[in-house]
Amino acid sequence: MFSAGTIHRKLKYQAAVDAGAVGFLICGPLPDSTVAGSSGRGSEHGIPAMGIGRDTAALLARDSKGRRVVRMVIETSEAPAEVRNLVFDMPGNAHEWVVLSAHIDGHDLAQSAIDNASGLAVVLAVARSLSASTASSQRGLRLALFNAEEWALTGSAQYVSELTQRERDSIVLNVNVDSVGVGSKLTALNSGFRAIEPFLLSQAEQARVPLGLYRPLQMNSDHGNFAIAGIPAFRLVAGFNDFAAATRFVLTAEDTRDKLNADALYRAFRLTRQIVASALSAPSAEVSAWRYPK
Ligand SMILES: [Zn+2]
């Protein structure tokens, strides 16, 4: 799912609904394990949806006799629930903010170690290491730990929608860390904000951490809600366009802590710290240019 050519599950689900499907099956990367993820259903009725493994998908494949007929039974229970976003401000000298975010929710079929304990560990370590210096920096550091990301980015959508325009204007950059600590390379999904690309590459050079860029907006984590509100935002992710990287285990029963690599996690920390520290003190003229052209 982390590649330039990916089509988000929500779009596939919607295409199935639009084509008149009565149910929706999506195949995960593992042979014999289900795959999690929200189907993107909103308040409308929707159709039943289920994640299946490769073996099951192969059994259902069309052959010379045509398509298989199967009966799909899904038992669910739905109830109202309440969760919280956790937002912690470390003010600087001006009323301007760098928002450092990671989502804290996950799926219960594994440990959510890659997605997103890894990002949470990185943002906590970065916030800790910069906490003593924000009082003397130009901008403040806002640590935003979003909830219900795995449910159509709901936590961050609500957070951004409740900001006034002035509050949105005061956020110079959202650095969103989601699924790192694996693979050999990090990529910034920079949501169409091409003016931040030279800044990001420069920070990567200074931190001596290789960084790839992918410009088109991908609504696959909380940075997307900042981006569509006009706030420069990117997601730092590992294993983009690397089909052998352990990010392929995200949303499966294999997303366990043994997949994480300490060196890769530390690289993500060093790069994130470098980017955030520089964004806290970058000249205002440079920072205001990040918003344009989108
Ligand atoms: Zn995630």
Calculate how far, in angstroms, residue 180's C-alpha sits from the geometric centre of ligand 1.
10
When pLDDT is cut at 50, 70 and 90, the band that residue 205 belongs to is very high
According to the model, what pLDDT value does residue 1 have? Answer: 78
Calculate how far, in angstroms, residue 103's C-alpha sits from the geometric centre of ligand 1.
7
Residue 190: cis peptide before it, omega within 30 degrees of 0 = no
When pLDDT is cut at 50, 70 and 90, the band that residue 123 belongs to is very high
Residue 223 lies in a domain: yes
Q: Which of these, 154, 142, 141, lies nearest to 221 by C-alpha position?
A: 154
Residue 16 lies in a domain: no
Calculate how far, in angstroms, residue 35's C-alpha sits from the geometric centre of ligand 1.
14
Calculate how far, in angstroms, residue 247's C-alpha sits from the geometric centre of ligand 1.
10
Range of the domain at 197: 86-289
Is a pLDDT exceeding 80 seen at residue 42?
A: no
Calculate how far, in angstroms, residue 105's C-alpha sits from the geometric centre of ligand 1.
8
User: What mean pLDDT comes out for the span 240-247?
Assistant: 90
Residue 2 lies in a domain: no
According to the model, what pLDDT value does residue 127 have? Answer: 98
Residue 189 lies in a domain: yes
When pLDDT is cut at 50, 70 and 90, the band that residue 78 belongs to is confident
CATH of the domain at 203: 3.40.630.10
Query: Is there a contact between 235 and 186 (Cβ–Cβ < 8 Å)?
Result: no
Alpha helices (H) along the chain: 9-18, 54-59, 119-130, 154-161, 165-169, 197-207, 223-228, 262-281, 284-289
Calculate how far, in angstroms, residue 14's C-alpha sits from the geometric centre of ligand 1.
21
Calculate how far, in angstroms, residue 17's C-alpha sits from the geometric centre of ligand 1.
25
Query: Which residues are placed with Cβ below 5 angstroms of ligand 1, an ion?
Result: 115-116, 178
Write the DSSP symbol of residue 259. G
Calculate how far, in angstroms, residue 235's C-alpha sits from the geometric centre of ligand 1.
10
Is a pLDDT exceeding 90 seen at residue 132?
A: yes
Q: How many CB atoms lie under 10 A from the CB of residue 247?
A: 25
Average pLDDT of the residues of the chain:
93
14-22 contact pairs (CB < 8 A, 24+): 14/40, 16/47, 17/46, 17/47, 21/47, 22/47, 22/48
User: What mean pLDDT comes out for the span 228-257?
Assistant: 94
The Cα 182–Cα 279 span in angstroms is: 25
Calculate how far, in angstroms, residue 215's C-alpha sits from the geometric centre of ligand 1.
19
pLDDT in tens, 263-280: 999 999 999 999 999 999
Across 102-106, 169-173, 245-249, 275-279, least confident range = 245-249
The Cα 115–Cα 250 span in angstroms is: 6
Is a pLDDT exceeding 70 seen at residue 40?
A: no
pTM as predicted: 0.93
Q: Which of these, 27, 33, 1, lies nearest to 247 by C-alpha position?
A: 1
When pLDDT is cut at 50, 70 and 90, the band that residue 38 belongs to is confident
Residue 15 lies in a domain: no
SS3 breakdown of the chain: % helix, strand, coil, rounded to 5? 35, 20, 45
Query: Is there a contact between 251 and 115 (Cβ–Cβ < 8 Å)?
Result: yes
Calculate how far, in angstroms, residue 221's C-alpha sits from the geometric centre of ligand 1.
6
Is a pLDDT exceeding 80 seen at residue 288?
A: yes
Residue 114 lies in a domain: yes
When pLDDT is cut at 50, 70 and 90, the band that residue 93 belongs to is very high
When pLDDT is cut at 50, 70 and 90, the band that residue 294 belongs to is low
According to the model, what pLDDT value does residue 272 have? Answer: 98
Residue 65 lies in a domain: no
Percent of the chain exceeding pLDDT 90 equals 76
Which has more confidence, 192 or 10?
Answer: 192
The Cα 283–Cα 158 span in angstroms is: 30
The dihedrals phi and psi of 233, each to the nearest 5 degrees, come to: -155, 145
Q: Which of these, 117, 167, 164, 172, lies nearest to 145 by C-alpha position?
A: 117
The Cα 41–Cα 121 span in angstroms is: 30
Calculate how far, in angstroms, residue 93's C-alpha sits from the geometric centre of ligand 1.
32
| Count of structural domains within the chain | 1
Percent of the chain exceeding pLDDT 70 equals 98
According to the model, what pLDDT value does residue 71 have? Answer: 87
Residue 3 lies in a domain: no
